[in-house]
Structure formats: structure tokens, C-alpha cells
Amino acid sequence: MSGSDLFTGTLDILILRTLEAEPLHGYAIGKALRDRSAGVLAVEEGALYPALHRLEGRSLLESEWGRTDTGRRAKFYRLTAGGARHLAAESARWAQYSDAVAAILGRSE
Amino acid sequence: MSGSDLFTGTLDILILRTLEAEPLHGYAIGKALRDRSAGVLAVEEGALYPALHRLEGRSLLESEWGRTDTGRRAKFYRLTAGGARHLAAESARWAQYSDAVAAILGRSE
DNA sequence: AGGTGATACATAAGTGGACGAGGTATCGAT
DNA sequence: ATCGATACCTCGTCCACTTATGTATCACCT
């Protein structure tokens, strides 16, 4: 409970969503999430890579080794059709869930 | 993965928030959350009671045996000062986090 | 030449919360 | 008398996340 950890279960959707626009390699996904959230979504590597393997194991992602712009070796992940479906479903579930929590917590204004 | 399970870490705040208005007993807390969220927040008893004990162990809650309106024996939980502080902090963290997730997921736009 | 920091991947041990399934007991209603 | 709802509890299991550690390459600085 370091105060900056993720709420379990959200990482998968965040990854899938990040890959919806374009294939990216793992490290770039972590960086993208951190940047786009101004540091709020600080994904630890020890959570990120297992998550990617997990998602690939469920065929929600596919991977392929390649090279970055700067010529570095990296594994690129791409969303599968199943992954897109899963993202849509889980994304809806998250929306419903966070609305419910917000309703309980009450708007802070 | 029943499709209605909680996102780990949110249960504590939901409980604390529910007790902010008035002391309630465990079973009533679960029911309140389920009712106020139209069934979205379905708290299993196997998660609820351990959570209450956990929170009491951290002195965020205090408990006392009593009787319900209908005369049934029940353990009533009350928010402590520390619990209120914890709720405020974690509630803010949740707001920040869910906003970040919403920004990534890009809903409502 | 050596050191540092960022990039890029990976796994292992440990923590801890939620689930599922079981249990006890009381009460009102059928 | 049994059933469903109320009200509590705990145990085993699973699994996501943390922390720590490891490999390796590359740019940059001194």
C-alpha cells in the first residue's frame, strides 16, 4: 500500500486501450500511461511485463520482436480482435463500476 | 471473474464512506452498498467481514455489539477519527486515479 | 576508459485482498 | 416444520501487484 499502487484489475484495460491506436512495445506502454496520466498511473515493470504475458496467453494480444525508432530491440504488442472485444466489455464494466463508486463516495463539491 | 467482482482496494473506502453518516452493522453495510449501487457493488460476505476486521485492526473502525431495529443481535461499526482521515485521503486518491483512468479510456467525449 | 542514466526485457519471492464454500444461529412466515 | 432472510464467522485458494534483482544495449559525460 505504498500510496501510489494501482487498483487491481485496471491494468489490463489500460494496456489494451493504449494499444488500440497502434502497436507498441512494453516499455513504451508503461511510459505512455505514466505520461498521459501525469504520473498518476505509475506502472511497475514487475506488474507490466507479467500483465503483457498474461494478456498474450489469453490471446487478447499478439507480440512480435522488432526495432524501435532508435534501433533498439523490443517486443511489439498488437491488439487482437478478441482483445478489442474484451476491452469494450471491460471498459463498460469499469465505467459502470466507477460511476457506482462515485455515487457512494459522493461528488466532492 | 464473475463479472461483478470488486476492483481490489476500493472496498475499504466504500465501507468507511458508508459509515460516515451513521454506525451500521456489517450485514447492513453490504446491503446498503448493493442497494445504493443498484447491485453493481455486490460485496461478498467473504470479503466484507475480513475487511471489517482488518479496518478495526488498523483502528479505522470501532465495533460494539448491539441490537437491530428488529431486535436481532448485530455488531455495529463506527468510524474513528483516524478512519475519517483515512477516508478523506483515500477518497481523494480514488478521485485522482479514476480521473486518470477515465482520461486514458477516453469516455464521455 | 569508466561511470551514469535511460532504454528494454524478464523473473522470483512475498504480500495481501477478494472469492467461493462452508459453517453457526435467530427469526418470521408459509 | 421448513424455508428464506437476517447476521455473523473462517478457511483455502487464487492471483494481481510490489519489491528486488538480473541481463543487455546505447548515449552521454568526464
Q: What is the pLDDT of residues A15-40, one digit of tens each?
A: 999 999 999 999 999 999 999 999 99
A72 CB contact with strand C at below 7 Å: yes
The pLDDT-based confidence of B2 (bands split at 50, 70, 90) is: very low
Q: Is B35 exposed, middle or buried (0-12, 13-18, 19+ CB in 10 A)?
A: exposed
The pLDDT-based confidence of A109 (bands split at 50, 70, 90) is: very low
For the residues of B49-86, what is the DSSP string, one character each? HHHHHHHHHTTSEEEEEEE-TTS-EEEEEEE-HHHHHH
**What is the value of pTM for the model shown?**
0.92
B45-67 mean pLDDT:
97
Q: Do B17 and A108 touch (CB under 8 A)?
A: no
CB B7 within 8 A of CB A97: yes
Q: B19 pLDDT exceeds 90?
A: yes
Q: Do B102 and A102 touch (CB under 8 A)?
A: no
pLDDT given for residue A68 in this prediction: 95
Instruction: Give the H/E segment covering residue B25.
Output: strand B24-25
The pLDDT-based confidence of A4 (bands split at 50, 70, 90) is: low
Q: Measuring from the CA of residue A25 to each C1', which nucleotide is nearest?
A: C8
The pLDDT-based confidence of A2 (bands split at 50, 70, 90) is: very low
Distance from CA of A9 to the nearest CA of B (A): 6
B21 and A CB contact within 8 Å: no
> How far apart, in Å, are the Cα atoms of B36 and each of A101, B20, B43, B68?
10, 15, 12, 20
